[in-house]
Chains A and B, each alone.
Chain A
Amino acid sequence: MTSSMTPIDPADLGGADALSKLRALESEAIHVMREVASELERPALLFSGGKDSIVLLRLAEKAFRPGRFPFPLVHVDTGHNFDEVLEYRDRRAAELGERLIVAKVQDTIDAGRVVDGYDPAKQGTSRNQQQTQTLLDAIEEHEFDACFGGARRDEERARAKERIMSFRDDFGGWDPKNQRPELWNLYNGRLRQGENVRVFPISNWTELDVWQYIAEEELELPSIYFAHEREVVRRNGMLYAVSPYLQPQDGETVETLSVRYRTVGDLTITGAVESTATTLDQVVTEIAATRITERGETRADDRASEAAMEDRKAQGYF
């Protein structure tokens, strides 16, 4: 096994050898997406209009253009959305010319398959739990065998132990003690009967990596990621947007503050942060200096208990 080629001095490669961290992570993610597209029959890409799934869309372009994406985009819609995000979602899908499937939690509720967890009269209620059922219904209806998601291992400690390809049983459940070993870049995409797989191509990215990639790639984001004036109420140390779905309760006062969002989810459980950052540069600077994790600061769903994410994943959550 010898080669007659002359060994190459890395210095002659004009920098091509020194792949920056972001380019290394990008290359890994592209590889994962192409493997899944090759080995699975019917993948889908979960697209919420949030920054992580926006990065996934760019990675899909890098992996498959000028071909069409070998999967549709799927949004699991709780019905409690920021208008700016829905507008962005629809426009982005149209620009890409790719198919968007919207799976609505409201439809699952109307069909009587789940009970609405959201009660406008009760603080802290949301449709967070019901999304799981809607997602599982969509997977079944469209016979998806793989769903790309934008989850990252730095987000939360259960995720720190989840594989890039996370196999789920019929109920979408994740069994952390029974995960397939993932060696080198050799992914085993073969499913058992009734199984499907969640695939997280940006598992190894941090929040800051995502922001820097967005800046580097000049990706457009929904406007709520940048500082804007908004009516909010303070609740359990978090700032919630006042909306038709979230009204001030007794004793709460509505304040108008300059805020931005670090994550974009259901607006009844996603908190804003006070900020004056109106450009990506400024947001990246703020994120680099922050002392609180993304989920700790802005996601009520993860504050419920020490193992909140682990438990929800076992039940089929993203």
Chain B
Amino acid sequence: MSELAPTPTVASDDPLLRADLLRVATAGSVDDGKSTLIGRLLYDSKQVLADQLEQVEQASVRRHGEGAVDLSLLTDGLRAEREQGITIDVAYRYFTTGDRSFILADTPGHVQYTRNMVTGASTADLVIVLVDARQGVIEQTRRHTFIASLLGIRHVTFAVNKMDLVDWDEGVFRAIEAETTRISSQLGIPDIHVIPISALQGQNVVDRGELPAWYPEDDDHPTLLRHLQTVQVSTDRNLTDLRFPVQWVIRPGEGGDTAGGRWDAEDLHDYRGYAGQVAGGVLRPGEEVQVLPSGVRSRIARIETLDGDLDVATAPMSVTVHLEDDVDVSRGDVIVGADEDPAGITLREIEADVCWMSDRALKPGARYLLKHTTTTTAAKVDAVIDRVDLHTLEREDAQGLELNDIGRVRIRVKRPLVGDTYLRDRATGAFILIEEGTNDTVAGGMIR
């Protein structure tokens, strides 16, 4: 055995290298069977390994005595949660089937955990809302659907669980289907699916099992997993508005960890690359651009990566952009298309929906730091316009926002933001508020 590892030879047509990624958030509570559903997804798709299963089997016996394996225990994370039988925080699970890999953000469902659901949904392409077939559409269902729409989720799947406990009654399912469809259409969610399942019995989650004739085996009646595997999300990104927030300026002649090493940058004195993650639109070499907020114009000379130059880059690729002219660009600047009217996307005052995440309430007039793309600036909340009653989903007048509240606010910023509405581009429409003094993240916000 030589000291060096052998040269790798994985074929590039390996389906796992072509696999795409779907980020899913699940909303629901222990009572809806959410942990059982996630356990079922992992178990039936053969993602649970022998030692994990052994742990769960032992825990099931301790908890429930001899008998069936309690799949919900697969997702129990922290000791405090096991002791109290609750989910405290967002947990992330990973599984791959066929050509698609999934990141599952498992978020708790009760109203006091609204901030956790907002956090989990902020990075999701699709949200699964769990509905207990016995209870039908309840306040919590409406709240979860509302939060999904607030976070700009375009794909919502209603998993109608515990169908076995209503004897797979078609009437029960159709009523829930009609109501969830109505709510989603009111909220403007473009793509919804309603799927009957029994997570406990393993029906229609990964395997179909024995299902009644009203849910026939065809493409229009998929299992939950089949639906997750086939839902199309590639068109969700904004390919229209070029947005490249500069994150890090690469100047090999400067900075870095200079206390040691022998990094040689002799021939790179004039090198200047603007590194960042594409937030919207399409970058191509030769494209005329402007740098905001300064308004300086230039052209894209190169799109560089360690693996070579690119002809085209789209969100969410991390690349390094070179401009043809020697202009002054730094972190926080945003490169946009040449045709863009700077006035339209340079924002000094914004209206936004925020989810309040701190137990110290928001009061009008309060000052925070606002982080948006790669810019952090001082911000003042001039007004709280309204607050959403998370029980009725009505907007009502409010003097402030408390922990887990969602409401509309007006914010003024010191350094103008180069941004869009959240519905136009999630990456340039989202921000967080940071409390000076504690440095806590106290809110997530979406520009309206």
- Chain A positions near chain B (C-beta within 8 angstroms): 1-5, 7-8, 10, 13-14, 16-28, 30-31, 34-35, 37-38, 61-72, 84, 87, 96-100, 153-154, 157-158, 160-161, 176-177, 179-186, 188, 190-192, 203-204, 206, 208, 212, 214-216, 218, 220-223, 225-226, 228-229, 278-281, 284, 288, 290-293, 296-297, 306-307, 310
Whether A18 contacts B49 in the complex (CB less than 8 A), given A186-B430, A284-B10, comes out as: no
Which residues in A have their C-beta under 8 angstroms from that of B237?
17
The answer to whether B434 touches A69 (Cβ under 8 A) is: no
The answer to whether A183 touches B432 (Cβ under 8 A) is: yes
Which residues in B have their C-beta under 8 angstroms from that of A192?
438-439
The answer to whether A281 touches B78 (Cβ under 8 A) is: no
Is residue B230 within 8 Å, beta carbon to beta carbon, of the partner chain?
no
Is residue B5 within 8 Å, beta carbon to beta carbon, of the partner chain?
yes
Chain A: minimal CB distance from B311 (Å):
7
Chain A: minimal CB distance from B59 (Å):
8
Whether A280 contacts B256 in the complex (CB less than 8 A), given A160-B92, A176-B89, comes out as: no
The answer to whether A10 touches B18 (Cβ under 8 A) is: no
Closest to A22 in B: B17
The answer to whether B268 touches A66 (Cβ under 8 A) is: yes
Instruction: Return the 4 tightest CB-CB contacts between A and B, nearest first.
Output: A68-B256, A99-B260, A296-B51, A280-B8
Instruction: Provide the bound-state CA to CA distance between A69 and B234, in Å.
Output: 34
Which residues in B have their C-beta under 8 angstroms from that of A24?
20-21, 316
Whether A280 contacts B263 in the complex (CB less than 8 A), given A67-B252, A206-B94, comes out as: no
The answer to whether B5 touches A208 (Cβ under 8 A) is: no
Which residues in A have their C-beta under 8 angstroms from that of B281?
5
Whether A18 contacts B275 in the complex (CB less than 8 A), given A98-B263, A183-B118, A183-B444, comes out as: no
Which residues in B have their C-beta under 8 angstroms from that of A290?
49
Q: A63, A157, A204, A221 — which one has the most chain B CB atoms within 10 A of its CB?
A: A157
Whether A161 contacts B10 in the complex (CB less than 8 A), given A3-B337, A180-B441, A183-B119, comes out as: no
Which residues in A have their C-beta under 8 angstroms from that of B43?
none
Is residue B76 within 8 Å, beta carbon to beta carbon, of the partner chain?
yes
**Stretch among B138-146, B210-218, B421-429 lining the A interface:** B421-429
The answer to whether A279 touches B262 (Cβ under 8 A) is: no
Chain B: minimal CB distance from A185 (Å):
7
Given A7-B239, A192-B438, 16 other A-B residues pairs in contact with their CB atoms under 8 A: A10-B235, A20-B17, A68-B257, A72-B260, A97-B264, A99-B259, A160-B92, A183-B122, A184-B432, A185-B277, A186-B372, A188-B432, A223-B2, A226-B6, A280-B6, A296-B52
Closest to A207 in B: B94
Interface size class of B (residues with CB under 8 A): 35 or more
Whether A225 contacts B5 in the complex (CB less than 8 A), given A24-B316, A97-B264, comes out as: yes
The answer to whether B94 touches A153 (Cβ under 8 A) is: yes
Which residues in B have their C-beta under 8 angstroms from that of A296?
49, 51-52
Which residues in A have their C-beta under 8 angstroms from that of B3?
84, 87, 223
Whether A28 contacts B316 in the complex (CB less than 8 A), given A180-B440, A180-B441, comes out as: yes
Q: B101, B247, B257 — which one has the most chain A CB atoms within 10 A of its CB?
A: B257
Whether A216 contacts B10 in the complex (CB less than 8 A), given A72-B259, A97-B264, A185-B427, comes out as: yes
Chain B: minimal CB distance from A86 (Å):
12
The answer to whether A222 touches B5 (Cβ under 8 A) is: yes
Closest to A142 in B: B259
Closest to B259 in A: A99
Which residues in B have their C-beta under 8 angstroms from that of A228?
1
Q: CB-CB contacts of B244-267 with A at 8 A, as 1s and 0s?
A: 000110111001111111111100
Instruction: Provide the bound-state CA to CA distance between A99 and B257, in Å.
Output: 8
Which residues in A have their C-beta under 8 angstroms from that of B262?
97
> Can you spell out 27 A-B residue pairs with CB atoms less than 8 angstroms apart?
A17-B234, A17-B314, A24-B21, A28-B316, A63-B248, A64-B248, A64-B256, A98-B261, A154-B94, A161-B78, A180-B440, A180-B441, A185-B316, A188-B432, A190-B369, A192-B438, A204-B94, A204-B103, A212-B14, A218-B8, A223-B2, A225-B5, A278-B6, A280-B8, A306-B55, A306-B59, A310-B78
Chain A: minimal CB distance from B250 (Å):
4
The answer to whether A16 touches B314 (Cβ under 8 A) is: yes
Chain B: minimal CB distance from A202 (Å):
12
Which residues in B have their C-beta under 8 angstroms from that of A28?
316
Of residues 409 to 448 in B, which have CB atoms within 8 Å of A's CB atoms? Answer: 420-421, 424, 426-427, 430-432, 434, 438-441, 444
Whether A3 contacts B268 in the complex (CB less than 8 A), given A13-B282, A206-B94, A220-B5, comes out as: no
Instruction: Provide the bound-state CA to CA distance between A293 and B47, in Å.
Output: 10
Which residues in A have their C-beta under 8 angstroms from that of B440?
180
**Stretch among B128-136, B193-201, B339-347, B386-394 lining the A interface:** B339-347
Q: CB-CB contacts of B264-287 with A at 8 A, as 1s and 0s?
A: 110010010001110001100000
Which residues in B have their C-beta under 8 angstroms from that of A215?
8, 10
The answer to whether A19 touches B316 (Cβ under 8 A) is: yes
The answer to whether A221 touches B10 (Cβ under 8 A) is: no
Is residue B398 within 8 Å, beta carbon to beta carbon, of the partner chain?
no
Instruction: Provide the bound-state CA to CA distance between A97 and B1, in Å.
Output: 27
Whether A31 contacts B250 in the complex (CB less than 8 A), given A3-B339, A21-B20, A154-B94, comes out as: no
